[in-house]
Amino acid sequence: MERKKTRRIMVGSVPIGDGAPVAVQSMTVNDTRNIPATLEEIQKLASVGCEIIRLAVVDMEAAEAVGKIRKQSPIPVIADIHFDYHLALKVLEGGVDAIRINPGNIGSQEKVRAIVDRMKDKGLPIRIGVNAGSLERDLLEQYGHPVPEAMVESALRHVQLLEKEGFYDIKISLKASNVPDTIDAYTLMSERCDYPLHIGVSEAGPLLSGTVKSAVGLGYLLAHGIGDTIRVSLAADPVEEVKVAWGILKSLNLRQRGVNVIACPTCGRLEIDVVGIAQRVEERLAHIKETMDVSILGCVVNGIGEGKEADLGIAGGQGVGIYFENGEVVKKIKDTDIEEFIIQQVEARAQNMRDGKIP
Ligand code: SF4
């Protein structure tokens, strides 16, 4: 999969663009002014693989909280600001790793310059985020609807305001809530500039439908080499957003992280509770960072053969599970003990990987 060449920016310690691994990001749902709750949420998100976090900055109190949160955050922090450039200046005083702001919405070129000068001094990037729902009136009149061409034109206007000040540490997002517009907008933008792209389907919806939309939209773009950082937007716990984002990247072999549970769809040969065991095992092993494939298969007829490529796994037998490692049968486990046994094996394997005993 060839990735489109883009410029490199740094969000704290995380590189974005120019071939860097596609970074996973999310946004907190707690009020940024509630520092302990926001920090707790960031810790939770980081533990499942969130690499960059964005915080909504709604007023001066939130702007002041950003610096305090960033000091204790395990991952880089982006301040999300709309319209009020004073909030950007306040956030920059306290410390932040990047700002999301649309320079065309803050009032004047002098205000843009005030932000950009400070950003340049600190070497920080700006994300321009265009949303189909909030396009400029003249573009809506010109195009009739928030079509991808209008979104791209809007983003390029914001870009020009920054370039006018000699500022190029930029990444761009173009969010629409439907998949075809999202795909078209990012495809068009990737032809028009080489700034790194933050890709996402906006307001994708609840867990199931939002996951499908995000997987189709972001999967298409990534498979075509477009996208340098991703955010899955779900009407659900942000922890799910991060898990889905990783699922998309892993399914395209763009990134590897943690346990990949392979489970059969089950059929009339089923001997064990594959659905329940696979779900619980995946849930309980979400904290594991080491990469491994774990198979949970319903019977021995196809199970061991189908699980051959996995690092370890179980195939169901009558009242038992046949445990195998690297395609070789190791032992039989009582069916009621399968879940705990798999958890123990994975934890032990992960520890051995951390200790360098398994490459
Ligand atoms: Fe059916 Fe066995 Fe295949 Fe599962 S592994 S789908 S139970 S044949």
Q: What integer is the mean pLDDT of 1-24?
A: 96
Report how far ligand 1's centroid is from the alpha carbon of 288 (Å): 27
Atom 1 of ligand 1 has which residue's CA nearest to it?
267
Is the shortest distance between the CB of 303 and ligand 1 below 6 Å? Answer: yes
Give domain status of residue 306, yes or no.
yes
Instruction: State whether 286 and 245 are in the same domain.
Output: no
Our answer on whether the CB atom of 131 is closer than 6 Å to any ligand 1 atom is no
Pocket probe mutation, ligand 1, options 273, 302, 324, max atoms within 8 Å of Cβ: 302
| Residue 28 resides in a domain | yes
Query: What is the sign of the dihedral through the CA atoms of 54, 60, 61 and 64?
Result: positive
267 close to ligand 1 (CB < 6 Angstrom): yes
Same domain, 71 and 142: yes
Structure confidence by residue, pLDDT tens digits, 284-297:
998 899 999 999 99
Same domain, yes or no: 218 and 310: no
| Residue 337 within a domain | yes
If one counts every other C-beta atom within 10 angstroms of the C-beta of residue 276, the result is: 11
Same domain, 204 and 98: yes
* ipTM rounded to 2 decimals: 0.99
| 306: pLDDT strictly greater than 80 | no
Q: What is the CATH number of the domain that holds 144?
A: 3.20.20.20
Residue 64, C-beta contacts closer than 8 angstroms, at least 6 positions apart: 90, 94
Res. 41: pLDDT tops 80? yes
Residues 181 and 294 in one domain: no
Count of the separate structural domains present in the chain: 2
Looking at the structure, do residues 32 and 92 belong to the same domain, yes or no?
yes
Please tell me the predicted confidence (pLDDT) of residue 303: 67
Asked if residue 264 belongs to a known ligand binding site, the reply is: yes
Which of 210, 233, 251 marks a domain boundary?
Answer: 251
Residue 50, annotated ligand binder?
no
In Å, what is the CA distance from 242 to each residue of 36, 69, 104, 207, 215? 21, 20, 30, 12, 12
What is the per-residue DSSP string for 317-352?
ETTEEEEEETTEEEEEEEGGGHHHHHHHHHHHHHHH
pLDDT digits (tens, 9 = 90+) for 127-169: 999 998 889 999 999 999 999 999 999 999 999 999 999 999 9
Domain that holds residue 238: 9-251
Cα(281) to centroid(ligand 1), Å: 18
Q: How far apart are CA 9 and CA 126, in angstroms?
A: 9
User: Does 302 sit in the ligand 1 pocket, CB within 6 Å?
Assistant: yes
Of the listed ranges 84-98, 291-305, 316-330, the least confidently predicted one is: 291-305
Distance between CA atoms of 13 and 15, rounded to whole angstroms?
Answer: 6
User: Could you say which of 235, 251, 267 is where a domain stops?
Assistant: 251
Domain boundary (251, 272, 303) is at 251
Length of the chain in terms of residues written: 359
Record the pTM: 0.90
Q: Are residues 17 and 140 in the same domain?
A: yes
Pair (297, 329) in one structural domain: yes
For atom 8 of ligand 1, the residue with the nearest CA is 302
The beta strand positions in the chain, using DSSP E, are: 9-11, 14-16, 23-27, 52-56, 77-80, 98-100, 126-131, 170-175, 198-199, 229-230, 259-263, 292-297, 312-317, 320-325, 328-334
Position 1 in a domain:
no
